[in-house]
Amino acid sequence: MSSKSFVEIINIHKSYGKLVVLEGVNFDIRKGEFIVILGPSGEGKTTLLNIIAGVIRPDKGKVIIDGQVVDDSSNIYIPPERRDVGYVFQNYALYPHMTALDNIAFPLKMKKLPRDEREQRVEKIAKLLKIDHVLHHKPSQLSGGQQQRVAVARAIVKEPKLLLMDEPFSNIDPALRASVRLELRLLLKSLGITTIMATHDQEEAMTLADRLLILRRGKPIQIGSPIEVYEKPSERFVAEFVGGMNILELKSEYSSLLREYRVEGEDASAKYIGFRPESIIISNEGLEAEVLEAEFKGDKWTIIAQIRSGEIIRFYNKDHVNTKSTVFIKPTKVYLFSSEGKTVKILTINK
């Protein structure tokens, strides 16, 4: 593995009895990167975070942090107390009987720092997170957003090697979510803290991540930057999960569409064809579709139409289109998928 890697996750497997929770997870993280583990709920993200943190042990594989093997699934195991990671739990897990100040200071207390140094560092971090005015309250007296910031403060006050976050924004008021996210990312980047965050919210993942790990049913599906994952999804699942895509079974009537594209021979393994809502234009030829609904989105309209073979297509259009009218739609960028769902070819219309 490259010596530039700060964290290495090597071939992690974890099962509970017959249930396989993680299988063959492999990736490297560079120092200072913000990595997001993206996947549907309950499919292994939290387990992976817990293994990296040391709360549970993998059945197979290795975890290396800053050059040190912290777990090799047999004899080498460094418990969480000594791994120097920070963790923000989904429901924060704040110490209910301590004030916010004591909560945040606790890791420093465990490091046996003297009291004034502790208080100094807590004040500093609390100011950065804008919670310095509630430090003397107990968690039950704080709002959800304040609790979250206390949890983050507690995780980073000890300047850990690695920060882990499990769906940290899921309990934040949706209206505030966007700004809270960006503020946090800015803060973490400015402090240079390597971060791994788990979420099922693809919009969140795309906004925050330097790189994404897409995890489905415990298996890593794709690793890459948001742009890579969006424009070059490795599988049908990724294409649908990130950004949304209309997918049709490839039938003979659509092969006429393919002739528009630079096609070097018919690709025999292609079973499905997909196109994103934003890659569709209304023209005077293409697929015939009847408009069912038009939803106003502010800067555009989402049109829901049904093509002759019965499938429902969603696409964006600048202007309104009357329902019940018939339009001809053409995709400008098309993805071909095999019967197992793997991406076979990505074709762009040649103008």
Binding site for other proteins (CB under 8 A): 53, 55, 79-83, 85-87, 89, 91, 93-97, 106-107, 109-111, 154, 158
Q: Decide if 253 contacts 309 (C-beta within 8 A).
A: yes
CB of 70 to other proteins, least distance (A): 13
Q: Which is nearer to other proteins, 9 or 163 (CB)?
A: 163
DSSP3 helix / strand / coil % (the chain, rounded to 5):
30, 35, 35
CB of 86 to other proteins, least distance (A): 7
Q: Which is nearer to other proteins, 129 or 291 (CB)?
A: 129
CB of 87 to other proteins, least distance (A): 5
Which two structure tokens, joined as six digits, stand for 35?
């990595």
CB of 110 to other proteins, least distance (A): 4
Q: Decide if 167 contacts 36 (C-beta within 8 A).
A: no
Q: Which is nearer to other proteins, 144 or 244 (CB)?
A: 144
CB of 204 to other proteins, least distance (A): 22
CB of 160 to other proteins, least distance (A): 9
Q: Decide if 121 contacts 106 (C-beta within 8 A).
A: no
Q: Which is nearer to other proteins, 160 or 274 (CB)?
A: 160
CB of 107 to other proteins, least distance (A): 4
Q: Decide if 169 contacts 151 (C-beta within 8 A).
A: no
Which residues is 221 bridged to in the sheet? none
Which residues is 69 bridged to in the sheet? 64
Q: Which is nearer to other proteins, 96 or 310 (CB)?
A: 96
Q: Which is nearer to other proteins, 57 or 342 (CB)?
A: 57
Of 197, 174, 173, give the one whose Cα is nearest residue 185.
197
For 305-339, b/e burial (b = at least 16 CB within 10 A) is bebeeeeebbbbbeeeeeeeeebebbbbbbbbbbe
Positive or negative torsion for Cα 64, 69, 70, 71: positive
CA distance 320 to 289: 15
CB of 77 to other proteins, least distance (A): 12
CA distance 49 to 75: 20
Q: Which is nearer to other proteins, 45 or 276 (CB)?
A: 45
CA distance 65 to 83: 8
Which two structure tokens, joined as six digits, stand for 304?
């829901």
Q: Which is nearer to other proteins, 107 or 274 (CB)?
A: 107
